[in-house]
Structure 1
C-alpha cells in the first residue's frame, strides 16, 4: 500500500508539469510567431499587390513578357540542372570509386567553384570568350583568321551560354550531396552488382544513380533556387528570365503591379522546388556500416596510364571552368589596377559590405538561437511549424524578397509618418525604406535558414538532456542556456556566423532593390561597373569577394579529405 502511494503522484503531476512548461514560456512562442510573420510578410505583400491592382498591365504581360520569360526560364533551369547534375554526379563517383594521382586534392578542389558568385562567373566568361579575349585571339592566331566572319564561335551571351556559366559554379551542390551517398553505401553496392556479372557502366546507370537519386534531387533543388535568384549573370548575358522581368517591369516600366504578378509566377517555381526537395528527403535512407566494418570498406579501383590521365583531366576541367577562369580573368585585370586598392569608392564599398554582413550575421545568429531555444523549451508541433515558416526565406529569390519587403517597409513608414503628423505635429519621413537597415533585414530573412541549420547541427551533437540536467541542479532556463548551451555551441555559432557573413557579401538581387542612393557594397560595385560595360574596373572588388567566399569553402572541404568524416 505504501509503495502504491509513493508511485501515484508522478502520473498525476506529469501532464500538469507539461502544461506549466508551456505556460512559463509564452515569450518563446511570441518571438517565433513574430519572426515567422516578418519572413512571410514580403510574400503576402507581393500576393496582395498582384491581386489588388486594376489588371491593366496583365494583357501586355501575358502577351509580350510572360511567354518569352517563362520559356527562357524553363529552358535555362533544364540546362543548368542537366549540366550540374552530370558534372556533380560524375565527379562525385570518380573521386569515391577510383584511385588516381591527386585524387585527395580533387576531392576538396571540386568545391572551390562555390566561392564564385554566378554574376562574377558571367562577367569573367564574357571577357574570356570575347572577340578580343584569350580564346578567340588564340584561335585566330592558330588558324590565321583575320575577321570574326572567317570562323564560327559559340555566343556566350545566350541561354545555353548562361546555362554553362551557372552550371560551372553550382554543380558542387550536387557533388556534395551525391558524394555522401556514394561514400556511405555506393562502393559496397557496386561490388555486389559486379559479382553478379554487371559491367561498370550498367552498375552506375542501373544501381548507383537510383540509389543516389534523392540526394541528387536535393542538390538540384539548391542549384535551381540559386539559378532563379540570379539577376546579375542573366542581365549581363542578355537572358530575359522571370527574375530579370520582375526587375525591369518594376524599374523600367514603372509597373509595381506587373512586377508583383510576375513574382507570383516565380513563387510557383519555388514551391515546386521545395516540394521536390522535401519529397527527396523523405525517400532518402542510408544503410550505415558497423564501426568494425568501416576499415574493411572495399578499396578503390586503381587507375594508371592513360586512364589515370583521363581521370585527372575530367576532375580538372570543372575546377578550371568554375574557379580557374574567373580567378585568372579578374586576377589579370587586378594586376593592372592595383591603384584601386587606395581608391575611396572601393574602400567605402568594402567597409559597407563588412558592416552590413557583420550586422546580418549577428542578427541572423541571434534569431536562430532564439528559435532553436524556443523549440527546445516548448517541445510542441506548433513551435516546430513556426520555425519552419521562419526559415523559409532562403528559398525566396532575392528579387521577390526585395520587392515585397520594400513595399511593406514603405507602408509601415507612411503609417508611422501619418501617426506622427496627426498626434505630434511633425513628419518622420522614411525611416526604413531605402536604408541600410532594409538591406540587413532582407539578408537576415534570406540567410536565417543557414544560421539555423548550422546551429541545429551543433545542438544535435550535444547530449539530449543536457539542459534538463543543468536545470535539475537549480539553474533557471535562461541561465542554463547562457552558461551551459552557449559555450558548447561556440563552434557551431561561429560556423553559422561565417556562412551568413559570406553569403551577405555575395548577395546582389535584394541589395540592388533595397539599397539607398549612393550605397554600394562590393557586389553592387562590381555590378555597376559591369552594367557600364567595364567589368574589368570591378576586378579588385571581385577578387575580394572570391577571397572572402573561400572561407566557408575551406570549412566544407576539410572533411572531404577523409571519407569517414565526409
Structure 2
C-alpha cells in the first residue's frame, strides 16, 4: 500500500516538474521575442544624440512622409483590389470565376523585392515592354514613347499593391461567404440594387475582416526594404539600414528603429480601434450567398477586373523571370554559386522552421494544459510578426554580441584562447531572427488546431492512466499533423523570402537566394539574378497552392 502511494506521489511530482518546465519554456519563448525590443531600448539610450540634428534635418522628414504615403497608398490600393475581386468571386457568376477564385492568390508567391526587380528591368526604355509597344505603334526611338516612371513613390505603391492585395482578398472573401444569403436577399427585396447592397450592407459587415487584411498589408509594406531601395523610395526601414551600415551608428539606427516600431504598433492599435464596434455574429448554419448571374457587359468588366491584377501581379513578372533565366542559362549556363546559395537558403530556412515549430508547439501545449490560462504568453510569442526585419536585426545585435564577448572572454581566461563570434558570426543570429519573426505562424496555427480537439478526449486518456506527455504524443500530435505541416511550409517559405534580416545578420561571404537577387539588382545585372529569383517564386508557389485549396469554399 505504501509503495503504491509512494509511486503515485512520485508520478504526480514528476508531472508537476514537467508542467513547470513546460511553463518556464513557454515563458522563455515569449522573453526571446521581447529581447530585441528591450535591446533596442538599451542601444538607443547609449546614443549621445549627436546624430539626431542631422537625422531630423535631412533624413526623418522625408523618410516619415514617404513611409506614411507609401503605407496609405498601398493600403488603399490593396484594399480596393482585394475587396472588389473578393466580392465579385464570392457573389457573382461570370466566365472564369472558378479560375480566379484561386488565381487571385498567385501574387503572394512573388516577394515585393522581386516584383520591383522584374519591373525595373521590364519597363526600362530598352526593356521588353517598351520595345513591344514601340513595335506595335510603329515608333523607332525610345524617347518617342512615354511611360510612367516606375522608380518613384507612385510606382512603388502600385507594385506593392499588386503583390499584397491577396491578404485583403482572402479575409474579405471569407467574410462575404459567411454573411449568408438571407441578409443580401432581404436588402434586394426592399428595393436595393447590387451596388447599394454592397456599399450599405455587405461592406460594413465585412469591415472587420478587411481591416485585418489591410493591417497585414501595412506591416508588409513598412517591413519592405528591397523594393523601396530599387524604386528610390526613402522609407524608415531603409533609413535604419543606411544609418547602421553607411554611418556606422548602431545607437542612431536603434533610435530610428524604436520610432518605426511605434509606427507599426500604431497601425495595429488603429486597426483594433477602427473595428471596436464591428463585432458581427453570423448564424453557424447560414446559407452561402446565391451568386448573381451577370449581364454580358457586367460579366466582361468583372472578368477584366479579376484578370488585370493576376496578369500584372503574377503572370507578367513570372513570365519575364522565366525568360531572363532561360536566356541566362543559354548564354552563360548555371551560375557557379547558385547551388551553394540554394543550399544555404534551404539549410537556414529548415533550421529556423524546425526551431519555430518546436517552440510554437511548446507554447500551444502549455496553453492547452492550463499553464497559460491568461493567454498572455501566446500573444507575446506572436509579436515578432509585427517587428520589421530591420528593426529585429538591430535589436538582436547588442544581446548576441554581448553574449559572444562574454563567452570569448571566459574562454580566453580559462583556456587561453578566444572563441570569436559564436552567434553573430556563425549564422545563428539569422536563424534566431527567423524564429522570432515567424513564430506567430506555428503558434496561431497550432492554437487553431487545438481549438478543434475537444478536452473530453484528454479526460478520457487521463482516466485510462495516460500521462500528459503521452496524451500530447499519442493523441494531440497525430490530430495536429495538418496544422503542423501547414505551419512548417509557411515558415519555411517565409524564411526563404525574408530579405531585411538576411542582409543585416548573415555571416560574411554567406549568400542566400534572396541576398543574391538583391546584390544583382543593386549592380544592375538583372539577368544574373533571374534564376535565383525564379527559384524563390517557384518555391513560394507551393504554399499559395495549398492556401488556395484550403480556402476554397465548399459548394453547398
Instruction: Say whether the 8 Å CA contact 2:366–2:372 is kept in structure 1.
Output: no
Aligned 8 A contact 1:49 1:257 in 2: yes
Looking at structure 2, the residues matched to 226 and 201 of structure 1 have their Cα atoms a distance apart, in angstroms, of 31
* Partner of residue 50, structure 2: 56
Count of aligned pairs between the two proteins: 544
Shift of residue 505, structure 1, vs aligned partner: 0.8
Match of 2:19 in 1: 25
- Note if 1:182 corresponds to 2:173: no
**Cα separation, partners in 2 of 1:283 and 1:416, compared to 1, 3 Å:** farther
* SS of corresponding position for 2:455: coil
| Residue of structure 2 in register with 1:345 after alignment | 337
Q: Which residue among 122, 132, 137 is the counterpart of 1:138?
A: 132
- The 5 A counterparts of 1:91-110 are 91-110=85-104
CA distance in 1, matches of 2:79, 2:220: 14
8 A Cα contact 1:105 1:561, kept in partner: no
Cα 1:412/1:253, change in 2 over 3 Å: same
- Is 1:233 matched up with 2:227? yes
Correspondence list, 1:28-427, <5 A: 28-185=22-179, 187-279=181-273, 283=277, 285-289=279-283, 291=285, 294=287, 297-338=288-329, 342-382=334-374, 384-427=375-418
Where does the alignment leave 5 or more consecutive residues of structure 1 unmatched? 1-17
Shift of 1:198: 2.0
Kept in 2, the 8 Å contact 1:104–1:561? The answer is no
Matched residues in 2 for 1:560 and 1:467: separation? 29
Give the root-mean-square deviation of aligned CA atoms.
2.1
Please state how far the C-alpha of 1:32 moved relative to its aligned partner.
1.6
For 2:86 and 2:396, the matched residues in 1 are separated by: 39
Match of 2:439, SS state, is helix
How far 1:36 moved relative to its partner?
1.5
Q: CA deviation at 1:194?
A: 1.9
Give the TM-score taking structure 1 as reference length: 0.92
Alpha-carbon shift at residue 304 of structure 1 (Å): 4.1
Quick one: distance in 2 between partners of 1:310 and 1:230? 33
State the Cα distance separating 1:380 from its structure 2 match: 3.8
In 2, Cα distance between equivalents of 1:380 and 1:559: 29
Cα deviation code 1:278-318 (max 9, x no counterpart):
44676554444454x63xx4521112423222211111001
Deviations 1:363-399 (A, max 9, x none): 11111111111112234445x2122112211111000
Which moves more between the two structures, 191-200 or 497-506? 191-200
1:560 shift after superposition: 4.1
Structure 1 contact 364–444 (Cα < 8 Å) conserved: yes
Structure 2 vs 1, CA of residues 31 and 281 (structure 1 numbering), >3 Å: closer, same or farther?
A: farther
**Structure 1 residues 227, 351: closer, same or farther in 2, change over 3 A?**
same
TM-score norm. by structure 2 comes to: 0.93
Inter-CA distance 298–249: structure 2 relative to 1 (3 Å threshold): closer
Task: Identify if the C-alpha distance between structure 1 residues 30 and 535 changes in structure 2 by more than 3 Å, giving closer, same or farther.
Answer: same
- Report what 1:15 is aligned to: none
**CA shift in 2, pair 1:180/1:298, >3 Å:** closer
The structural deviation recorded for 1:564 is 5.5
Question: Structure 2 vs 1, CA of residues 247 and 113 (structure 1 numbering), >3 Å: closer, same or farther?
Answer: same
The 3-state SS of whatever aligns with 1:434 is: coil
Residues 561, 486 of structure 1: CA spacing in aligned structure 2 closer, same or farther, 3 A cutoff?
closer
